[in-house]
A = this chain, B = another copy of it.
């Protein structure tokens, strides 16, 4: 880390498992830092020390404001930042100040909630706000792949509705902790198996429950390659998600947040359905969203 970094603010994305920070001067990134001190591993009085341990090299010229998004604002986080209810404009962030000592002034962005059906997000609202900053006037559906993937309907700068799917977490549990762990590799990929599996559960979602153990039996009886089984498992689960999320993507203008393996899997799953997606860099969207929140803070203080 460069010890002459002198940001005028610090951007923070603080999720359940990771803490990411950027030293910012205006909209420019001067430096980056990250640690595994996510919200899930911290008691309430451990947030300030964890943040200081990461960003103190950037504070040599005195305190600077910190804008944070993510699970840090949950009830189990540093301070609860109340949800804002959709429909609402994600860019009009609500900020909650976290209790901290003199050289830190930390503001946490509120998450969003939806009453019917019940749903919540924390962190993604900032990425959505950033996406809208980068793509002004964009209407359509934004998919944010992750441990808990979000599908978000955007119209006229507002989040109209959204839905969360646990597909990423299910894939990790089933491939890593169920009997399928013996038959599914930790890496490797088979595009044909993936696309076939997506097509199967999308066309016949009622077959999903019966397909899972077949991956184990297929490997025992016919020696199915573990990379093929891995891609097929991913395809079955993403296909089931697409079946449930059909109203979100059918005939819609689509964008996917992310450029990594998981985001590309969603893109490849949607392509055979005639849906092409704008792919957006996650870090750019996160920083654009936190920058918008910081602008709001400056205007109101």
User: Known: A208-B240, A209-B240. Contact between A173 and B177, CB under 8 A?
Assistant: yes
Residues of B within 8 Å of A217, CB to CB, are 113-114, 117-120, 164
**Most chain B beta-carbon contacts within 10 A, residue among A119, A206, A218, A241:** A206
Complex Cα–Cα for A217 and B177 (A): 25
**Is A170 in contact with B166, judged by CB distance below 8 angstroms?**
no
**Contact string against B for A residues 61-103, beta-carbon threshold 8 Å, 1 for contact and 0 otherwise:** 0000000000000000000000000000000000000000000
Complex Cα–Cα for A117 and B212 (A): 12
Contacting A206 at CB < 8 Å: which of B117, B120, B221, B244? B244
Identical copies of this chain, number: 2
Tell me if A157 counts as interface (CB < 8 A to partner B).
no
**Is A178 in contact with B167, judged by CB distance below 8 angstroms?**
no
The size bracket of the interface on A is 35 or more
Contacting A173 at CB < 8 Å: which of B117, B163, B174? B174
**Is B221 in contact with A115, judged by CB distance below 8 angstroms?**
yes
**Contact string against B for A residues 216-241, beta-carbon threshold 8 Å, 1 for contact and 0 otherwise:** 11101110000000000000010011
User: Known: A205-B208, A244-B206. Contact between A214 and B167, CB under 8 A?
Assistant: no
Tell me if A284 counts as interface (CB < 8 A to partner B).
no
List residues of A (160-213) whose CB comes within 8 Å of B's CBs.
163-167, 169-170, 173-174, 177-180, 205-213
Residues of B within 8 Å of A206, CB to CB, are 205-206, 240, 243-244, 246
List residues of A (239-273) whose CB comes within 8 Å of B's CBs.
240-241, 243-246
**Is A119 in contact with B214, judged by CB distance below 8 angstroms?**
yes
Task: Report A165 CB to chain B, min CB distance, Å.
Answer: 5
**Is B173 in contact with A214, judged by CB distance below 8 angstroms?**
no
Contacting A177 at CB < 8 Å: which of B164, B177, B221, B240? B177
Complex Cα–Cα for A214 and B165 (A): 9
Task: Report A232 CB to chain B, min CB distance, Å.
Answer: 12
**Is A243 in contact with B209, judged by CB distance below 8 angstroms?**
yes
Complex Cα–Cα for A206 and B212 (A): 16
Residue of B nearest to A238 (CB): B209
Residues of B within 8 Å of A167, CB to CB, are 209
Contacting A221 at CB < 8 Å: which of B118, B173, B220, B243? B118
Task: Report A234 CB to chain B, min CB distance, Å.
Answer: 13
Tell me if A25 counts as interface (CB < 8 A to partner B).
no
**Contact string against B for A residues 282-295, beta-carbon threshold 8 Å, 1 for contact and 0 otherwise:** 00000000000000
Q: Which 8 A-B pairs have the closest CB atoms?
A: A210-B244, A205-B206, A206-B243, A118-B217, A164-B213, A209-B244, A118-B218, A209-B240
Q: Can you report 16 residue pairs joining A to B where beta carbons are below 8 Å apart?
A: A114-B217, A118-B214, A118-B222, A119-B213, A119-B214, A120-B220, A164-B217, A165-B209, A170-B178, A170-B212, A173-B173, A173-B174, A206-B206, A208-B208, A210-B241, A211-B244
